[in-house]
Structure 1
Amino acid sequence: MEIQAFGVEEWLNVWENDAVYDIAGSSIASMTLEEILNLDPAGKDALLAELLQKKMNYGWIEGSPEFKEEVAKLYQTVKSSQILQTNGATGANFLALYALIERGDHVVSLYPTYQQLYDIPRSFGAEVSLWKIHEEDKWLPSLDELRQLVRPDTKMICINNANNPTGAIMDRSFLEGIVEVAREVGAYILSDEVYKPLEDGLDVPAIVDIYEKGISTNSLSKTYSVPGVRVGWVVANDEVTELFRKYRDYTMICAGVFDDFITTHVLKHKEAVLKRNQTIVSENLAIVKDWVAKEPRVSLVFPRHVSTSFIKLDIPEEIEAFCIRLLKEKGVLLVPGNRFDMPGYARLGYCTHTEMLKKGLEGLSDFLRQFDTPNP
């Protein structure tokens, strides 16, 4: 089986630990374990006591009943039987593709997006048609182009909503348009939904809630600020979930007793987490908007309170070489856009801790001044 190197992960594996100012990530500022325990200050001692009594066995294979109960609350029409715990959303996406995609299948994938969604199907021998996003349309793709790409034998449409790296959001109306196209040919829709938009008034349903062949994946890593537990989930109809169970036995046993326990605690207190994160996203996005307005070499289609953004850089240098020099000389880490097959751009993870963001942007602006023409 041949597969392309995972561009973003390869970049971060090499350079992430060298960063002084890491503004490359797409999670909302990660919580400490103390912050997690203090989501319920009155119950902290009882929680620790319960944790200390946990037996370090395999635990619940599919995720504990408490975990499934909390996940089900995130959806409108989902029962616990439809939920399987995975190793992050990465594991959830892989499980869905592993179980459903075979050599000779036809898959349509949003592009660029999280690389799993198009390169894993290719590695399985599927034919993949790329459904391209357009900057002039606020990084959304065209439904008319989707209709041209879909065929009578299309097996699956893969999307990432909100999109990584751009932060673009497909709202209910747009998603219903995708469902209409998929339903005509009986295609599944796999939707990676790790980036929950935190802007009030947006109607962005999970695909599993609006389409009988919709498959939703999610995790604690982005919107919920706990990537360290490596817990995700996949949700589909009962028939598809039963199929996933068979394939899941070949990819993992359990996510771990400790991870399940912490994940369940975070989800029980999700309102407090989301309130914290709405504040971070709102304040940091205001900082970025002010910075872009003052920075002549940067433009940006601003995300809708989603924790990733994709800046365009007006520089006379290849983007990866620029990002390496920026890191080595200023300690500032971005993800170069060529890692998403988009040279000239970079992923800016603006939802890091606010002081980190401010210092990173200051270093980036200072570095960009080398390209300015001196006044005569």
Structure 2
Amino acid sequence: MKRKIIEKRERGVSMADLARTYSRSTSTICSILKNKDKIKEIDASKGVTRISTQRLRILDNVEIAPHMDKRKQLQGDTINENIIFADLVEKTPGSSMAEEQAFKGSCGWFEKFKRRIGIQSIVRHSEAASSDTKAAENFISDFKKLVDSEGYLPQQDFNCDETGLFWKKMPKQTYITAEDNALPSHKPMKDHLTLLFCANASGDLKIKPLLVYHSETPRAFKKCKVQKSRLNVMWRSNNKASVTHDLFTDWINEVFGPSVKKYLLEINLPLHVLLVMDNAPAHPPDLQDDLHDEFKFIKIQFLPPNTTLLLQPMDQQVISNFKKLYTKALFERCFEVTEGTNLTLREFWKYHFHIVVCLKMIEKAWEGTTKRTPTSAWKKFWPESVVECT
């Protein structure tokens, strides 16, 4: 193909026409014409359609990727593209060329290099950047001693955590055909609520979630004649739709305590419970004193500061798995309503999707979170519980 491009160019065909004919950019055509003498000298074997240049020695040194030092990453150092390229710019050892050759790599080469080595670019969030690895290691050791001394079983160990849910939000990215060069804009729905999830290490007891919304009695409740006491969540409200100390304490005494007590009595285990949580503002240190007398068997264990991302079981795929299942249910609902109609997405949101439908999908997604998901989430700081449950 390169030879044909060269021949046509020598016959007077313009570079723009060559680019359109062979579906290549004009810069690619320029590069081919620049090296036309070398291309003409190459005598490829019959049937060979791909020609590879000799691999430079420096690329052998590149493959070991010394720049990807995991110790630096754990210490909080940021490794970006500029740092990687700086590490790769070295002299080629033992080069047979007259002049020593320094490493040079294009953006395309770097993308293939990342896939070959198995590295990827991620966003370092503030919580991840401030994680205290040493404190996490110490907590793992202390937690094991506590579990062994107190005799806690996976059925008696629980973890809870909050998460925000934009219940009308669709994914930002979508696919379009090559003929379409644009897509009508869609204003994202920013209406959100907060959910509190909790489950034990054995994964066979998922507690009824706490849901905090900005409205005490939404219009859809009156339309659908909803009774809050029969909802699959504990419904609460405030202006910011966030969990507060009082709301969390109510959930502990009204939902968590009774559910755990009933569960342990049914499986003939002693009333001996450990609830692990982070030190969020809604989880004050004196929470133990706010428990009702009948739930004093519940012991509160706080994670060290800046270790939530490293240790919190609910953050280890449990909440993300719930949100994937919720998004799946959201799409199913959208397709079910709009299929065979002329409804737009905006009309679907306005007339066919409200908070009552959202509650049904939350229930479906939380029930769809399998026993294996919360069980495997504890393997980071209590791997023995995973083995026992398996």
Task: Give the shorter-chain TM-score range.
Answer: under 0.3
Q: Which has the larger radius of gyration?
A: 2
Please, what TM-score do these two structures have when normalized by structure 1?
Answer: 0.23
Please, what TM-score do these two structures have when normalized by structure 2?
Answer: 0.23
Richer in strand (by share): 1
Between the two structures, name the one with larger relative contact order (CA 8 Å, sep ≥ 6).
1
